[in-house]
Amino acid sequence: NAGVTQTPKFQVLKTGQSMTLQCAQDMNHNSMYWYRQDPGMGLRLIYYSASEGTTDKGEVPNGYNVSRLNKREFSLRLESAAPSQTSVYFCASSEVGGTANYGYTFGSGTRLTVV
Amino acid sequence: KNQVEQSPQSLIILEGKNCTLQCNYTVSPFSNLRWYKQDTGRGPVSLTIMTFSENTKSNGRYTATLDADTKQSSLHITASQLSDSASYICVVSALSGYNKLIFGAGTRLAVHP
C-alpha cells in the first residue's frame, strides 16, 4: 500500500541546472497533480493531469514542464533551475470526479534547494 | 479572489487539553471543505471532507464544523496527544472544470507534555 511515491526526497541544484522529479501512484487514480509549498503560504498547483494523455497548467506553471508517462506516473521537469524554485514539491493523485468528494493522496514531498 | 485564511498561525497547548483551529474562506462557488494534517517532512493527510449541506464531521478526536452561511469552519481537537503536533491545513474546493483546491497556509500546533 505505497500510495504516492516521489523521488528524490532531497535535491540541491545549481542555478541553470535541470532535473526531473518523479511521481508514481499505485491506486489506479486517473488524476495527478504537482504542487509546491513555500513557507507561510498554502500549497499552489503547478500542473495537473486530469487523465492519462492530458496535462494542463495550474496556478504557477512558469519554469516547469510535465509529462504524464502512463496512468501511474507523472513527472515534473525543471529545465533551467532558478533560486525562486527552491521549495518543497508534492505530487498528489485522486479519482476522477469533477465536483465529487473524492480524496486526494499526497506523496511525502521533494525538498529542492537551488543555489 | 478565492482565499482561505487560517488562525492562529501557531499554537502551543499541553497534552490532554482541547483546542480549536479556525478557517475563513472566500471561495465561490463552493464545493466542499477539507481539513488535512501535515506532519513535519511528510505530505498532507486527509482528516475530514464536508459538503455544503454538512455542518459537522468527526474523525476520532478530530471534529470539523462548517457554517456555509458565514463561510467559516473550525477543527476541534479533543484530549490532545503529543502525536497531534503537526500543521493543520484547511482546503476549500471551488466548483470548476477540475475541482480546484485552494489551500490555507496552515496552523502549526505543538503539543507539549
Distance CA A89, CA A36 (A): 4
The three cell numbers of residue A54 are: 492530458
pLDDT of residue B96 exceeding 80? no
Distance CA B54, CA B32 (A): 9
Question: Can you tell me the mean pLDDT for B32-41?
Answer: 94
Which residues of chain B are within 8 Å of residue A45 when distances are taken between CB atoms?
100-101
Question: Can you tell me the mean pLDDT for B73-97?
Answer: 93
Q: Taking all residues of chain A, what is their mean pLDDT, rounded to a whole number?
A: 92
Q: Residues with Cβ < 8 Å from A85, sequence gap 6 or more? A: A63, A78, A112, A114
pLDDT of residue A1: 61
Report the percent of chain A where pLDDT is more than 90.
81
Interface contact B12, partner A, CB < 8 A: no
Which residues of chain A are within 8 Å of residue B98 when distances are taken between CB atoms?
31, 48, 50, 56, 98
Interface contact B99, partner A, CB < 8 A: yes
Q: Chain B: give the shortest CA distance to residue A42, in Å.
A: 4
